[in-house]
Structures are given as structure tokens and as C-alpha cells.
């Protein structure tokens, strides 16, 4: 294993041009000293007599959680990171919101050799990573000049702020400041949706309507009232693993009634580890086929709740089918083989597709159909498949068919709900540019904007794009050259300076995306910032407000985003409108005072900073999804055309007729299994026989924390492979392997384990792209292998639909 660590972690660092990277972070000597934080950095910090203090801060990355940190310093240098140690930790609500290994290692993000120290502009070819140091005045002059040029030559809709989630939860700083600034000078092209939940968020409103929040599920606490828990790809132990995430609430709810738990997932994840009663490994992308096999048993054995379907739903059978639908276009006919395809969706049919034995499909159906209260939920990895919208809509059919909705211990089939404390944030204003692109299609808008319409590419707010994207701003994101799909294809586009003419990256570190910037703006870390943050978007029923108190003075010449925007606003002639006469701290105090007027229990800002996070549990009312609708479907009608749960969606019926779709793009009014490109049935399996997908590793959050050596040593970064597949390839755990397809190749280590089903491999996503001179990615970034082909409905990211081959190096 030590040999692999040298190859996979240390070797790429050695292969970097030391002088290039040294210059990028402010010089070779400075870079070396940054690697020795407690000695070298102390030399640049103000010297005081034994000045020891402890302040509250938080880990602000995009894991969905929010965890408090206590930062201990001595003479202006961080000496220790401590997690939350308040509360009795007995049960949920007053528990310690403990940070995971990522938050506990945050000191190494602050004192990191990759740290961006000064504003810099590119001097070599784009992507070479060669920069020269400039002053902040020069940086503001250059950026404002390029903004004004872009607006004059192309219009404001040629300006784009990329998706970026490296810092989540800021209320008076961060990306919102840039949005506020850009809106004051005419706006910018925005996107809708996100890389995490794009397909499910777009698809489920066609079933459940648009009135409810984006997560239509019940709170995780309802699991304690269920007698059966069924989870499709839901993995909170890895995706929401900290004290501020859903896993603490999830485990407590499971323990309270020892609920029978069945988990469907290609991997035996850390959410299981003995906490499950049954693991059903399934081929990626086939969950909808499993649902249809289950539905067949539910229907033929009279286990459906016919009264519920008649009263609350549209399109289950002919009695509630809309007039516009074709004969036998209803769901029941589709399952029984009486629909247009004529295929009966028996458990045997589903077994051949999913790889799950027939008897287990039948047994699962019977357990769901006879449970008094069944809590069915899904993770969002399964909707990042080419048929993701169909899959997410299919899974929610199980609680619909059995009437397990709106009652204690039930869920809608969606992700669990989240209650977030309404912490105020700086207003961004109104964006004069109303047109939006799907989150996954932004790169298309650089080179083929003239082809992109509302009927072909999901453009919203207008019929088509007017102009290509020419100015890119990436704030706290690694999307430009890491988290977007098909990096080798994408790199050619980004390197072409006639396409995106100017790229600004504002970040903490020299990421793989930062290397492709024309202008680099060094941001402060959360440890160097003052802020008040809300809880995470997946913290369950525990909400709160988290203080961030500046633990050390900002290192080098880093600045916060608000102060950057003040400098830019002065040059753009909108400083007074941007600041409204307030400093950054002035905005923080102003917004916090407004929040206290709405919540008398919210402590003063001084007390919050002194005593730590203010947390409170969600109200008891509203914890059961669609309870109000179930109790009174007319008074609480859903935001669908019928006001009911639409198994058959008339909106999707219209979209399927009006949109321009490729031959392999299928949109249907009812949820159904659709075979996709690069599935296990694709002829390409002759060349690339293994299904491949990404998962959220504990060693980083997306790409954040990847450059922490401690985490790289502690958490395995290679692929998982079943012993059957490894044996045929002569592979053993620890081998260094090639993972490749027709889009690219990565080099990583391999872990041979029965915790993944045969025919499938998996890799933790988020590793930094690091190509050698031949274009082989030695960093192990999964997006070297993913495709930019979008899903049919949301135009989202099918970044888990991949075929590969694996061989020993």
C-alpha cells in the first residue's frame, strides 16, 4: 500500500513543475514555508506575548451538513481544531454537532502549499499554470475592464458565474456578493438546477406538483414510526456523516424501534455495516425496472391501496386516466403488459435486468405491500444516470401504490426533508437577464449557443440564447476543469481563447480549475473570516445559526469576496448602490439584527460568538410529507394540473410531443424503466464491459479537501472491484491499474472486495485532474471518463452512466 501512496499521491506532486507551482502560490520559498505552518507562518504573523485564544468557526463545504469548530490559536497561529463538545449527546436535538475528519483537518487547508496568496494574471498559454503576481488595484482594473468590454461587445448575457459549492452557507460574503454586483451593472446569464439533485428536482414536480419544497420527503425522524424502511441508494453514513448531518438522526430513528431495513445499492456502503436486515445489490441504472417488477406483484396479489389511488391520484388505471391519454396509457396497463410496448413487467423480467433474484423481488413487494407503515426513500446518486428522471419518478410509485403517504412512519419516496433555520443573507437584487441555461449545459453555451432553444436544450426564460458565454467567473468551485464531465473534451474548449475570452477564478488554492484562469483572486478561508452561517441543506430536523469568528488575520494578501466586490464596484461606478453605505461587518450586524426581530430567542451576536451555535429542532407540525393533502386533498391540492398526485402527467405528455429529442432520448407521461446508452445492455460492453460510477468518499467533499495529505493517506482513493472481475483480470488489492474508455484514462489503485456486485466498479469522485504529457490522468478524476451527453428531461448530468475497462499498469 505504501508503494501505491507514493505513486498515486506523492508522484503527481513530484511531477509538477516546482517553479511553476511555486510561482503560482507566491514563490518557491514561500510555498515551502507554507508547508511548515507552525514555524514558518508564525514568522509572518504579528508577534505578541503569549496570546492564546479560542473562537468559534465552522466547516462550510458542500456536504449538506454544517459543523461547528473551535479554533485554538497562539500568537496568531492555529494550534488546534476542536469540534463541538457541548450538550449531553444523549439522543437527537441536544447532541454534539461533531465535525468529521474533513472539518477536523481544516488547519491544513489554511496552511497549505497550494494556497493562493496574491492576485495573479496568466502569462503563459491558458492551462499551463504560469502566472505573475499583480497588485489588487491591477486585478480590479483588469477584471472591470474585461467586464465592461464584454458588456459592450456581447451584452450582459455573455457573462456567466459557474456552478461552485466549495463554500456553502455564507450570508454576507461569497458568490452572492458577485451576483449582487453583476446585477447592478445589467445582470448575467444564470443557470437553474444543480449537479447534485438536478434530475430529481426537475422530475418530481410532475408527480407531486410545484407547491411543496424541493425535497418532498418526510423528516428522517418518521423512521421511528415505521415498521419497514426501504432505501434506494440512500447512503447518509458517507454523504451526511458528521454530527451536523442526517446520519445522527437516521441512526437514532432506526434504533428507537429496530425497524426492518432493506437497502438497494450496487455497493455495500457504510450506511449498512450490520445496520441493515437485507442488502440487495442492483445493476446501476436499473432501479426503475426493479420498481416495475415489485409493482407487478403488488397489483396481481391485490396489495395496492385502490381507495388511495382512486381518491388522490391520476393515471393509475382507466378510471382516472386523463382524456388526452391514449387507450391503455395508464400505469396498471403498462405493468401488466397491456400498454404500448406489450411487455409484462413480471419479477422474472425485472430480475434479468437488475440482477436481483426473482424470489427476492417478490418478497420485497410483499413486505412493502403488507407493512403498516413503510418509509421509502432514495439517494440522489441513482438520479445521476442517463435515465435519472425516470428512476426518481419510478421509485415514488411504491409509496403511491401502497398508500404509504401522509401518515406517520411514511414518506413520499423522495429524499428526507430538511428544516433549515432562515438565516438572513445579503440581497442579490433582481437579475435583468431572465434567460437561464440548465446547469449541465453551460459549456455548450460557450460554443453552440445559436443552436440552444427551449425545445432542444431546456433554455428557460426565453426561446433561445442570444449570445455565447464570453466571460466566466468561478467562485469557490472546481467546475472549469474538474467537476464538469468529459474533461478531455472540455479542456480543448477552455484552452481555446477565442471561445471563453476571459476566465476569473476566485478560490483558496491552486486547484485544477485555477490553472486555467486568466486572472486569479485569492479568497480568505472560512477560518480567516467573520460570518454568521445557517445549518446545512441536509441536516434533517435540526436547524441553527453558526458563528464564524476570525481566528487569525487573513494570510498573505487574501481578501474576502465582499471586499473584492467593493473594489470592483468603485471602478464600475456602483459602489454606493453595492455597499448601501455599509462595511462587510456592518451588513452582518444589520442582517443579524433583522433576524433577531423575528426570533426573540436568537441570542445577541456577541453571545452567539461567545457561546457557539444556536440550534433548535424543527416544529412537530409538517414533519410528515403530504399529511395536509391526505387529510384534505381539495383544500391542500398539489401544484399539478389536476391538483392530485399525477402518475400520468399531462405536462410530460405535452413535452414529449413538443420537444426536439434525439432517437435515444425518451420522455413518457408515466414513470417507466428506459434502457440507456452505456448501460449493461449497450453493445459497447464488448469493448468496455464494466459499469462504472462515482460515490461520495469520506476523504473529501466533492473536490474540497483533496489536497490534504492526511486525508489522502487515511481514505482509500482507488476503485472498488468484485473478486470475480478482479480474478479474470489478474488483479489484487493494492495493484496500480488503468481505468479507461473512449473518452480518457486514469491511473489509480484497486480495492478487491465483495462489497460491490460483479460487473460494476466504483470510484470516489472529486480527485483533482492531473494529466501527464500523454493526457493520462494520474490524479484519478472520474470526470476524465464521464460524458457530456445530457439526460432527456432536465438536461442534467448522467455522470454515473459510464462503461470502462480496467487493466493492470
Q: Is the pLDDT of residue 93 over 80?
A: no
Q: Is the pLDDT of residue 284 over 90?
A: yes
**Quick count: other Cβ atoms within 10 Å of Cβ 759?**
17
User: Do 558 and 26 touch, CB atoms closer than 8 A?
Assistant: no
Q: Is the pLDDT of residue 15 over 70?
A: no
Average of pLDDT values for 472-490? 97
User: Do 439 and 192 touch, CB atoms closer than 8 A?
Assistant: yes
- Provide the pLDDT confidence category of residue 268 given band limits of 50, 70 and 90: very high
Average of pLDDT values for 408-413? 98
Average of pLDDT values for 204-227? 86
Distance in Å from the first CA to the final CA of the chain: 15
Q: Where are the domains of the chain?
A: 120-195+433-529+558-600, 216-417+637-658, 683-808
Cell 403488459, residue? 337
Average of pLDDT values for 604-631? 92
- Percent of the chain whose predicted confidence (pLDDT) is above 70: 93
Measured distance CA(38)–CA(42) in Å, rounded: 6
Average of pLDDT values for 296-305? 99
Residue 505: the pLDDT is: 98
Q: Is the pLDDT of residue 214 over 50?
A: no
pLDDT tens for each residue of 396-407: 999 999 999 999
- Provide the pLDDT confidence category of residue 96 given band limits of 50, 70 and 90: confident
- Provide the pLDDT confidence category of residue 92 given band limits of 50, 70 and 90: low
Average of pLDDT values for 89-117? 86
* Interstrand relation of 690-695 and 802-808 (parallel, antiparallel or unpaired): antiparallel
Q: Is the pLDDT of residue 79 over 80?
A: yes
Q: Is the pLDDT of residue 775 over 80?
A: yes
CATH code for residues 216-417+637-658: 3.40.228.10
Pick the more confident residue, 93 or 607: 607
**Quick count: other Cβ atoms within 10 Å of Cβ 344?**
16
pLDDT tens for each residue of 690-728: 999 999 999 999 999 999 999 999 999 999 999 999 999
Average of pLDDT values for 731-758? 98
C-alpha cell at 605: 451576536
Q: Report which of 516, 584, 514, 720 is spatially closest to residue 176, judged by C-alpha positions.
A: 584
Residue 247: the pLDDT is: 87
Q: Is the pLDDT of residue 21 over 50?
A: no
- List b or e across 153-171, with b for residues whose CB sees 16 or more CB atoms inside 10 angstroms: ebbbbbbbbbbbbbbbbbb
Contacts of 794 (CB under 8 A, 6+ apart): 193, 198, 199, 201, 202, 203, 388, 389, 438, 458
User: Do 735 and 750 touch, CB atoms closer than 8 A?
Assistant: yes
Average of pLDDT values for 354-383? 98
Measured distance CA(320)–CA(474) in Å, rounded: 49
Residue 91: the pLDDT is: 59
Q: What is the CA radius of gyration of the chain?
A: 26
Pick the more confident residue, 118 or 539: 118
Residue 39: the pLDDT is: 38
Q: Is the pLDDT of residue 72 over 70?
A: yes
State the chain's mean pLDDT as an integer.
Answer: 92
CATH code for residues 120-195+433-529+558-600: 3.40.50.740
Residue 317: the pLDDT is: 98
Q: Is the pLDDT of residue 29 over 50?
A: no
Cell 453583476, residue? 182
Pick the more confident residue, 419 or 152: 152
Q: Is the pLDDT of residue 54 over 80?
A: yes
* Interstrand relation of 228-232 and 374-378 (parallel, antiparallel or unpaired): parallel
Three-state DSSP class for residue 290? helix
Pick the more confident residue, 248 or 312: 312
- Provide the pLDDT confidence category of residue 435 given band limits of 50, 70 and 90: very high
- Provide the pLDDT confidence category of residue 213 given band limits of 50, 70 and 90: low
pLDDT tens for each residue of 534-573: 888 888 888 889 999 999 999 999 999 999 999 999 999 9
Q: Which CATH number fits domain 683-808: 2.40.40.20, 1.25.60.10, 3.40.640.10, 1.20.1250.20?
A: 2.40.40.20
- Provide the pLDDT confidence category of residue 752 given band limits of 50, 70 and 90: very high
Domains 120-195+433-529+558-600 and 683-808 share a fold: no
Amino acid at each position: 500500500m505504501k508503494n501505491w501512496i507514493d505513486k498515486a499521491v506523492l508522484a503527481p506532486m513530484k511531477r509538477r513543475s516546482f517553479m511553476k507551482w511555486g510561482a503560482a502560490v507566491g514563490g518557491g520559498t514561500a510555498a515551502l514555508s507554507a508547508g511548515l505552518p507552525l514555524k514558518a507562518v508564525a514568522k509572518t504573523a504579528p508577534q505578541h506575548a503569549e496570546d492564546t485564544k479560542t473562537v468559534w468557526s465552522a466547516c462550510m463545504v458542500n456536504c449538506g451538513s454544517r459543523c461547528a469548530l473551535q479554533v485554538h490559536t497562539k500568537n496568531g497561529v492555529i494550534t488546534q481544531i476542536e469540534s463541538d463538545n457541548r450538550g449531553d449527546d444523549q439522543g437527537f436535538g441536544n447532541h454534539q454537532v461533531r465535525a468529521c475528519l474533513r472539518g477536523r483537518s481544516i488547519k491544513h487547508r489554511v496552511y497549505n502549499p497550494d494556497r493562493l496568496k496574491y492576485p495573479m494574471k496568466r502569462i503563459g498559454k491558458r492551462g499551463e499554470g504560469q502566472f505573475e503576481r499583480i497588485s489588487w488595484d491591477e486585478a480590479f482594473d483588469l477584471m472591470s475592464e474585461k467586464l465592461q468590454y464584454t458588456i459592450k461587445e456581447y451584452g450582459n448575457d455573455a457573462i456567466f458565474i459557474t456552478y461552485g459549492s466549495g463554500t456553502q452557507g455564507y450570508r454576507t460574503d461569497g458568490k452572492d456578493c458577485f451576483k449582487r454586483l453583476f446585477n447592478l451593472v445589467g445582470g448575467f446569464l444564470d443557470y437553474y438546477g444543480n449537479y447534485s439533485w438536478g434530475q430529481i428536482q426537475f422530475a418530481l414536480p410532475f408527480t407531486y406538483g410545484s407547491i411543496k419544497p424541493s425535497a418532498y420527503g418526510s423528516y428522517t425522524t418518521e423512521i421511528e414510526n415505521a415498521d419497514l424502511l426501504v432505501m434506494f441508494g440512500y447512503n447518509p453514513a458517507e454523504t451526511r456523516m458528521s454530527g451536523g448531518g442526517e446520519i445522527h438522526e437516521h441512526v437514532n430513528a432506526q434504533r428507537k424501534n429496530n425497524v426492518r431495513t432493506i437497502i438497494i445499492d450496487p455497493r455495500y456502503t457504510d450506511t449498512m455495516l450490520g445496520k441493515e436486515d437485507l442488502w440487495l445489490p442492483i445493476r446501476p441504472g436499473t432501479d426503475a425496472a426493479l420498481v416495475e417488477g415489485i409493482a407487478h406483484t403488488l397489483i396481481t396479489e391485490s396489495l395496492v391501496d385502490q381507495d388511495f389511488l382512486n381518491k388522490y391520484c391520476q393515471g393509475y388505471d382507466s378510471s382516472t386516466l386523463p382524456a388526452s391519454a391514449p387507450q391503455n396509457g395508464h400505469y396498471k396497463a403498462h405493468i401488466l403488459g397491456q400498454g404500448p410496448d406489450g411487455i409484462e413487467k413480471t419479477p422474472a423480467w425485472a430480475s434479468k435486468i437488475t440482477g436481483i433474484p426473482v424470489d427476492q423481488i417478490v418478497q420485497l413487494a410483499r413486505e412493502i405491500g403488507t407493512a403498516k407503515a413503510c418509509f421509502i426513500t432514495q439517494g440522489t446518486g441513482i438520479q445521476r444516470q442517463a435515465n435519472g428522471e425516470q428512476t426518481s419518478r419510478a421509485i415514488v410509485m411504491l409509496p403511491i401504490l401502497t398508500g404509504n403517504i401522509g401518515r406517520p412512519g411514511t414518506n413520499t419516496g423522495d429524499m428526507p426533508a430538511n428544516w433549515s433555520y432562515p438565516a438572513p443573507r445579503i440581497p442579490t437584487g433582481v437579475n435583468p437577464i431572465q434567460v437561464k441555461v440548465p446547469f449541465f449545459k453551460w459549456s455548450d453555451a460557450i460554443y453552440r449557443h445559436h443552436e440552444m432553444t427551449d425545445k432542444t436544450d431546456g433554455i428557460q426564460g426565453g426561446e433561445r440564447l442570444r449570445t455565447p458565454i464570453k466571460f466566466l467567473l468561478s467562485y469557490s468551485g472546481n467546475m472549469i476543469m474538474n467537476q464538469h464531465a468529459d474533461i478531455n473534451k472540455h479542456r480543448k474548449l477552455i484552452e481555446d481563447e477565442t471561445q471563453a475570452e476571459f476566465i476569473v477564478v476566485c478560490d483558496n488554492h491552486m486547484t485544477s480549475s485555477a490553472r486555467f484562469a486568466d486572472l486569479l483572486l485569492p479568497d480568505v478561508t472560512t477560518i480567516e473570516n467573520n460570518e454568521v452561517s445557517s445549518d446545512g441543506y441536509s441536516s434533517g430536523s435540526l436547524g441553527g445559526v453558526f458563528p464564524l469568528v476570525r481566528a487569525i488575520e487573513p494570510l498573505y494578501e487574501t481578501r474576502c469576496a465582499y471586499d473584492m466586490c467593493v473594489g470592483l464596484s468603485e471602478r464600475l461606478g456602483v459602489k454606493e448602490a453595492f455597499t448601501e453605505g455599509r462595511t462587510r461587518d456592518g451588513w452582518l450586524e444589520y442582517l443579524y439584527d433583522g433576524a433577531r426581530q423575528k426570533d426573540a430567542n436568537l441570542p445577541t451576536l456577541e453571545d452567539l460568538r461567545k457561546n457557539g451555535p444556536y440550534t433548535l429542532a424543527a416544529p412537530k407540525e409538517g414533519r410528515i410529507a403530504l399529511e395536509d393533502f391526505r387529510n384534505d386533498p381539495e383544500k391542500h391540492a398539489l401544484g399539478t394540473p389536476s391538483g392530485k398526485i399525477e402518475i400520468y402527467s399531462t405536462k410530460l405528455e405535452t413535452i414529449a410531443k413538443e420537444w426536439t429529442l434525439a432517437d435515444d432520448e425518451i420522455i413518457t407521461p408515466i414513470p417507466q424503466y428506459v434502457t440507456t446508452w452505456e448501460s449493461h445492455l449497450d453493445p459497447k460492453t464488448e469493448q468496455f464491459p464494466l459499469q462504472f460510477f462515482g460515490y461520495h468518499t469520506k476523504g473529501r467533499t466533492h473536490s474540497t479537501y483533496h489536497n490534504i495529505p492526511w486525508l489522502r493517506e487515511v481514505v482509500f482513493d482507488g476503485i472498488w472491484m468484485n473478486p470475480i472481475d478482479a480474478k479474470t483480470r489478474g488483479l489484487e488489492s493494492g495493484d496500480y491499474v488503468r481505468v479507461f474508455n473512449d473518452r480518457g484514462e486514469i491511473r489509480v489503485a484497486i480495492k478487491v472486495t465483495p462489497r460491490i456486485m460483479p460487473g460494476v466498479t466504483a470510484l470516489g469522485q472529486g480527485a483533482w485532474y492531473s494529466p501527464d504529457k500523454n493526457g493520462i490522468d494520474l490524479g484519478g478524476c472520474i470526470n476524465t471518463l464521464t460524458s457530456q451527453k445530457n439526460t432527456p428531461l432536465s438536461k442534467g448530468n448522467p455522470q454515473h452512466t459510464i462503461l470502462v475497462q480496467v487493466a493492470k499498469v
